[in-house]
């Protein structure tokens, strides 16, 4: 994790921020897809999809293999675990704070 | 708790029903003296809060823990709709997160209130490694922070 570092996580979160890229990840999680197969259900040009795939590649979330003129995209799930860990920590922080908020609201109620 | 970044994107969503009327919950989020009692609350900790609750106004929470270490959270209000909606930026030193966005929505259920909170990391996060320890250190700090909070 130290080697891959924060810049990698930055790129993972940046990649995850766009709904189209999350949709791409969901689809290739089920099965490998070519870029044109990925473009089909979206109202997007091949070029636009290709651009999203490149962002995902840079974040190491997608591995693209080439055979002839076909590019096949495969999910690389490892970075998702690091991202999930950060988000789980963030959720834990908020849950702890909201517990404290509930506690305060009970105190205020008892004071009335 | 599980987090699914592919489903939720770069953020978390939390829903709670609080046993207090909407107005009171909104006050707990916006009145500095009340914010100090839960936002950074921990036994033996001192919290300083300033909050200028209007669009463009800033808030700052500084907490000194029992070891004397200070933790700061600060940001700017983007939307303020009494008593139902607050949107503010969230920068937090222990996580080295800058300008993430927190949205709080309150639904009036009479005697109780539904609270929906989303916290989204910025599309172009300025999350940066502190020179020596990076994310691992950030996560360790946060772990410690959450654990300390739980102990109280």
* A68: pLDDT strictly greater than 90: no
Helix axes A5-16, A78-111, angle to 10 degrees: 80
- Give the least confident one: A47-51, B31-35, B65-69, B99-103: B65-69
Q: Work out the average pLDDT over A56-66.
A: 93
Q: Which of A91, A106, A108 to mutate to probe the B interface, most B CBs <10 Å?
A: A91
Say whether B73 sits in a helix, a strand or coil: strand
Record the pTM.
0.77
pLDDT at position B63 is 82
pLDDT for residue B128 is more than 50: no
Q: Is B1 exposed, middle or buried (0-12, 13-18, 19+ CB in 10 A)?
A: exposed
Is the predicted pLDDT of residue B88 greater than 70, yes or no?
yes
A25 interface with B at CB cutoff 8 Å: yes
- Collect contacts of B91-95 with beta carbons under 8 A, ≥24 apart: B94/B138, B94/B141, B94/B142, B94/B145, B95/A89, B95/A90, B95/B127, B95/B138, B95/B141, B95/B142
Q: What is the pLDDT of residue B93?
A: 67
| Mean pLDDT, rounded, of chain B | 80
- What's residue B99's pLDDT? 79
Q: In the predicted model, is pLDDT for residue B105 greater than 70?
A: yes
Q: Does B111 touch chain A (CB under 8 A)?
A: no
| Model pLDDT, residue B95 | 64
The closest CB to that of B129, out of A5, A17, A25, belongs to A5
Q: Point out the residue among A10, A80, A88 whose CB comes nearest to the CB of B127.
A: A10
Query: Do the chains contact at A84 and B5, CB–CB below 8 Å?
Result: yes
ipTM of the complex: 0.80
As a whole number, mean pLDDT of residues B64-75 equals 84
């Amino acid at each position: 994790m130290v080697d891959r570092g924060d810049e990698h996580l930055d790129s993972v979160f940046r990649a995850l921020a766009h709904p189209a890229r999350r949709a791409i990840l969901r689809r290739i999680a089920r099965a490998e897809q070519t870029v044109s197969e990925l473009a089909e259900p979206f109202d997007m040009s091949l070029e636009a999809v290709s651009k999203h795939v490149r962002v995902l590649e840079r974040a190491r979330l997608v591995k693209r293999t080439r055979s002839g003129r076909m590019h096949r995209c495969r999910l690389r799930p490892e970075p998702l675990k690091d991202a999930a860990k950060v988000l789980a920590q963030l959720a834990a922080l908020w849950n702890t704070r909201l517990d404290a908020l509930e506690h305060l609201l009970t105190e205020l109620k008892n004071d009335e | 708790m599980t987090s699914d970044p592919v489903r939720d994107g770069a953020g978390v969503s939390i829903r709670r029903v609080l046993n207090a009327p909407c107005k009171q919950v909104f006050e707990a989020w916006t009145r500095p003296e009340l914010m100090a009692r839960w936002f950074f609350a921990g036994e033996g900790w001192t919290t300083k809060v300033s909050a200028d609750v209007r669009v463009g106004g800033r808030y700052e929470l500084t907490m000194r823990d029992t070891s004397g270490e200070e933790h700061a959270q600060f940001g700017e209000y983007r939307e303020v709709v009494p008593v139902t909606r607050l949107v503010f930026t969230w920068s937090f030193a222990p996580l080295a997160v800058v300008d993430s966005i927190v949205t709080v929505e309150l639904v009036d259920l009479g005697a109780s209130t539904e609270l929906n909170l989303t916290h989204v990391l910025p599309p172009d996060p300025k999350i940066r490694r502190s020179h020596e320890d990076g994310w691992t250190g950030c996560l360790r700090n946060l772990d410690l922070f959450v654990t300390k909070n739980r102990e109280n």
